[in-house]
Amino acid sequence: MCALGWGFDTQVNGAMVSVPAFREYYGYVYQGNPVIPANWLSAFNVISSVGQFFGGFLCSYVADRIGRKKSLAVGVVIATGGIFGETFSSSAGAFIASKLILGFGVGFYLTLGPITCSEISPVVLRGLSSAGINLAIAVGQLASNAATKGFGNRNDVWAFRGPFLVQILFSVILLTGSIFSPESPYYLVRQGRVDEAKHSLQALFGTQTDITPALTTIQSTVNAEREASTPSYISAFRGTDRIRTLISIGAFTCQHLAGIVFVLSFSTYFFQLAGVSTSSAFDLGVGVTACGVAGNFCSWFLVNRVGRRPIFLGGMVGCTTLLLLIGILDVIPTGAAKWAQASLTVVYSFVYFLTIGAVAFVLLGEVSSLQLRAKTTALATATQAVWSIVMNFVVPYMVNPDSGNLKGKVGFIFGGMSLVTTLLCFLYIPELKGKTYEEIDVLFRSRVPPRKMGTY
């Protein structure tokens, strides 16, 4: 649910640009059409990521001190304030301030989701639960586009206020659900609260299940990592933890260099700029995110069979190819070409969520050491936020009619960056399918090259 809320928020930012009433309210008329200036459009999309950057770091601190459950409650309260603010703001300045507050709360969501999934899931389900994070993100993005389509054709302020206010549902569900969810047994053992950890494991696996082996494994892992050093953010870049941290943040860097902000967040607006009618653009936007949900669902059947490394590398190759094709088709000035571009965008969404989108969260949950998991996840969240800031600032200048007006030619830019990133992925993306956290620790301490870890 954390990931679902985050997915909705990220998608609604870009989707609002396609709503005429939103552009009229916050923009101006350019050549007969309402347009939001590129600088304001960048600010609208960037400011939420700024909040996520700081929210993620604060969450790592809070989660290690008061626990995962209470940290979630803090994040929900902050996010709810931002939701009401963005919904009822009457000026661009107030809207930006509200997006900053909401982003701060969403930073908690994005940090807590991977941490909790990796700590409460058994080894056999770890890949599925981590991949499920990205499925929830895709569902959130689909819900966002559906809400935008449902409200977007209105002629009043509720054309954009409606989708914003829908996010209150996530706050209610998260706050209510957290009351009944167990605390992370790893966190409880690290705090010396072993009896509470036993109750948490029983809640997770059932009272009829012998939890002794699971508890022993948790205690062994915690004790081994506790003997190593006192964790800090500097520790994440020392010794063998350096490569683990770089792989974690590198996986999220790949997502952005592979053009996810351009293809997904601005897809509906991109369709309009390509000459597709507003109604058809909304339909295609829903189609893009629906294919993302389908792709992520399919990843569940592959992640434990095929493995992490083949899926991730295959996804990078596929996304690179699709981006270059989108760029090539933009050079061809025909009506058929614009529909071909739209089709490739839909295919890209399926491929991305099947591969890069899903496996990045699996890698984050597996590669990071237990002792540094909260901090590594915060660094990954910060990386995600920094790249979102960069891309959401740059892409509007690339595609906006009153700026670069590159349209589909942006595919050449992201296709080139994605190609270089694919080569780095070949060297550094590991295969950790079926390995326990203790086995993963041994592989990294033994300095086994990441590309060869699957053979050990």
Q: pLDDT at position 230, please?
A: 60
Least confident of 14-28, 29-43, 242-256: 29-43
H or E element, residue 438? helix 437-445
Exposed (0-12), middle (13-18) or buried (19+): which is 65, by Cβ within 10 Å?
exposed
Q: How far apart are the first and last CA of the chain?
A: 35
Q: pLDDT at position 319, please?
A: 95
Least confident of 123-137, 141-155, 290-304, 362-376: 123-137
pTM of this structure: 0.69
305-339 pLDDT tens trace: 888 899 999 999 999 999 999 889 888 867 777 78
Q: Distance from CA of residue 85 to its chain's centroid?
A: 23
Comparing CA positions, the residue from 312, 323, 265 lying closest to residue 292 is 265
Q: pLDDT at position 312, please?
A: 94
- Mean pLDDT of the region 358-370: 85
d(CA 197, CA 422): 41
CA dihedral 408, 409, 412, 418 (to 10 degrees): -40
Q: pLDDT at position 130, please?
A: 67
Report whether pLDDT(216) > 80.
yes
Structure confidence at residue 231 as a pLDDT band (50, 70, 90): low
3-state secondary structure of 33: strand
DSSP state of 182: P
Q: What are the angstrom distances between the C-alpha of 284 and each of 14, 45, 142, 259, 429? A: 14, 21, 11, 18, 33
3-state secondary structure of 36: coil
- Mean pLDDT of the region 277-301: 82
Amino acid at 222: V
Q: What is the mean pLDDT of the chain?
A: 84
Report whether pLDDT(123) > 70.
no
Q: What are the angstrom distances between the C-alpha of 357 and each of 140, 261, 342? A: 14, 12, 20
Here the tokens at position 437 are: 């956290």
CA angle 46, 51, 56 (to 5 degrees): 125
380-422 pLDDT tens trace: 878 887 888 888 788 878 877 767 778 778 889 999 999 999 9
191-203 pLDDT tens trace: 888 898 888 888 8
Structure confidence at residue 127 as a pLDDT band (50, 70, 90): low
Q: pLDDT at position 79, please?
A: 94
Residue 178 or residue 15, greater confidence:
178
- Mean pLDDT of the region 76-80: 94
Q: pLDDT at position 53, please?
A: 84
H or E element, residue 319? helix 308-331
Contact between residue 397 and residue 306 where contact means Cβ atoms under 8 Å apart: no
- Mean pLDDT of the region 263-288: 74
- Top-ranked range on mean pLDDT: pick from 28-42, 53-67, 275-289: 53-67
CA angle 288, 291, 293 (to 5 degrees): 115
Report whether pLDDT(279) > 90.
no
Q: 152 Cβ partners below 8 Å, 6+ apart?
A: 18, 19, 20, 21, 159, 160, 163, 278, 282
Amino acid at 409: K
Report whether pLDDT(43) > 70.
yes
Q: pLDDT at position 187, please?
A: 86
H or E element, residue 95? helix 92-120
What are the two backbone dihedrals, phi and then psi, of residue 369, each rounded to the nearest 5 degrees? Answer: -75, 155
430-444 pLDDT tens trace: 998 888 878 888 899
d(CA 159, CA 238): 50
Report whether pLDDT(229) > 60.
no
The full length of the chain comes to: 456
Report whether pLDDT(233) > 60.
yes
